[in-house]
Amino acid sequence: MHTQRIADMIESKRESFIKVADRIWEFAETRFEEYQSAELLASTLESEGFTVERGVGGIKTAFIGSFGSGSPVVAILGEFDALSGMSQKKGIAKQEAEVPGANGHGCGHNLLGTASLAAAVAVKQYMEENNIKGTVRYYGCPGEEGGSGKTFMARAGLFDDVDFALCWHPMGYNSIMAMDSLANYQVYFKFKGKSSHAAASPHLGRSALDAVELMNVGVNYLREHIIPEARVHYAITNSGGLSPNVVQPNAEVLYLVRAPIVDQVQEIYERVCKIAQGAALMTETEVEIVFDKACSNLIQNKTVEQVMYRNFQELGVPVHDEQELELAKAVRATLSEQEHRTSEVQTPGGPDVDMVTWLNEYDGTKRPLNGSTDVGDVSWITPTAQCTTACYINGSSLHSWQWVTLGATSIAHKGMLHAGKVMASTAIDMLNNPELIEKAKVELKDRLGNSAYVNPIPEGVMPSVKK
């Protein structure tokens, strides 16, 4: 079967792929500033015979590596951005920053982008060996964390001629990602007032910080009157300064509004904007609304998911040795009781283990994901499927130091390479069976019905490196 050949191809280059993943873990670059990470992936693709176009979609760290020509076109999606403030030493069972305050890979994107690289390289090699027609593309997608890089790339039309897309995410379990995600908007509300001495002449000042606080109070009251599936978060990104004896003339707050579908996000966003305008009116300040980014909800495609599940079953799951299990046990001992209970949700019907050693059953039923991903925008354009592999301990949370510490260990490497094998085997299966591609496209069309894809990021809004 092609799965074994694919596995052999990836295993033959395992050390080079591991080196790439660990270097990206060390770079730990945040959204739209992943210059070293993007260049490492792009140059590796070139060394493997891909033609690479850099700076696609007007994004400096976005790129596409292509091999082959014509249809069908398979897109394999890669991410490589880190999170701010998550520095952590690798391979230890205690929280200890490598560099205090520095960045870290708390979501495993050093693994994500590298497994996709391994998959693309294996698909290319298999296509050459078996004279398979078509095109394999690696999409270097920056800024997933708070930047929605794929949504910007979708707005530029970079996925319009893709026949199907594959992706994955490192997790604490092995599964097919059959789930709904939340669409979102991220928006800055920047208030401008008038400074004055807070004791001598407070009546002459107009506090932008007061406006931010009043807006937050208003949105908190709004929460009772929006759908329960929605989420509204905020961070005060500029409180106006450090001097309490000054009426703060400038202040801003960053809002992230989520809901199951884009139309619901838009409705809530409009109400949040009215609250901001009301806060400005109450404080006699001005408010500037700056749209930062957005992404759409995921559209499931069972056709591609079923192909991916069959290949995952044939390949089995990552196997860990005694030393790896000892490290997993030590790291898992750092979790709280509540975090331990999370494993019951992640691994339904499974025992309370440190590392998951089985593939979750797939029946096509969607599970809710109370988070967002810019893969959603790709899934509106072309049939898309994703999987997860066990790269981390059972019950651990994304964006945690436990993920950073394990992200450059053999535990994570095994899950990463396995994900590459699953994606590459799925791609070959689809390429060898054009009727599956057509079936997947029909399913996508049926799921969308009368809903046409509308990119949620307004024209003129460009990617920002702001944290």
Provide the residue-wise pLDDT of the chain in tens; the chain has 467 residues: 799 999 999 999 999 999 999 999 999 999 999 999 999 999 999 999 999 999 999 999 999 999 999 999 999 999 999 999 999 999 999 999 999 999 999 999 999 999 999 999 999 999 999 999 999 999 999 999 989 999 999 999 999 999 999 999 999 999 999 988 999 999 999 999 999 999 999 999 999 999 999 999 999 999 999 999 999 999 999 999 999 999 999 999 999 999 999 999 999 999 999 999 999 999 999 999 999 999 999 999 999 999 999 999 999 999 999 999 999 999 999 998 887 776 555 555 566 899 999 999 999 888 877 789 999 999 999 999 999 999 999 988 999 999 999 999 999 999 999 999 999 999 999 999 999 999 999 999 999 999 999 999 999 999 988 64
* Whether the Cβ atoms of residue 393 and residue 406 lie closer than 8 Å to each other: yes
Report d(CA 21, CA 80) in Å as an integer: 9
Report d(CA 333, CA 93) in Å as an integer: 8
Nearest Cα residue to 227 out of 269, 254, 260, 275: 260
Q: Which domains does the chain have, with CATH numbers?
A: 2-180+297-448 (3.40.630.10), 183-295 (3.30.70.360)
User: What local confidence, expressed as pLDDT, does residue 466 receive?
Assistant: 64
Tokens of 193: 């007032």
| DSSP element (H, E) containing 220 | helix 208-222
User: What local confidence, expressed as pLDDT, does residue 451 receive?
Assistant: 92
57: left (phi over 0), alpha (psi -120 to 50) or beta: left
**3-class SS of residue 48:** coil
In this prediction the pTM is 0.95
* Whether the Cβ atoms of residue 17 and residue 118 lie closer than 8 Å to each other: yes
Q: How many CB atoms sit inside 10 A of residue 326's CB?
A: 13
Report d(CA 24, CA 18) in Å as an integer: 10
Question: What is the DSSP-derived secondary structure letter of residue 410?
Answer: H
Report d(CA 211, CA 217) in Å as an integer: 10
**3-class SS of residue 427:** helix
Place of tokens 């994703």: 386
* Whether the Cβ atoms of residue 420 and residue 61 lie closer than 8 Å to each other: no
Residue 250, judged by CB atoms within 10 A of its CB (0-12, 13-18, 19+), counts as: middle
Nearest Cα residue to 126 out of 37, 300, 266, 1: 1
Residue 431, judged by CB atoms within 10 A of its CB (0-12, 13-18, 19+), counts as: buried
Whether a cis peptide bond, with omega within 30° of 0, leads into 72 is yes
Report d(CA 44, CA 41) in Å as an integer: 5
Gyration radius from the chain CA atoms? 23
Report d(CA 256, CA 269) in Å as an integer: 9
Report d(CA 247, CA 410) in Å as an integer: 54
Report d(CA 240, CA 221) in Å as an integer: 24
Q: How far apart are the first and last CA of the chain?
A: 46
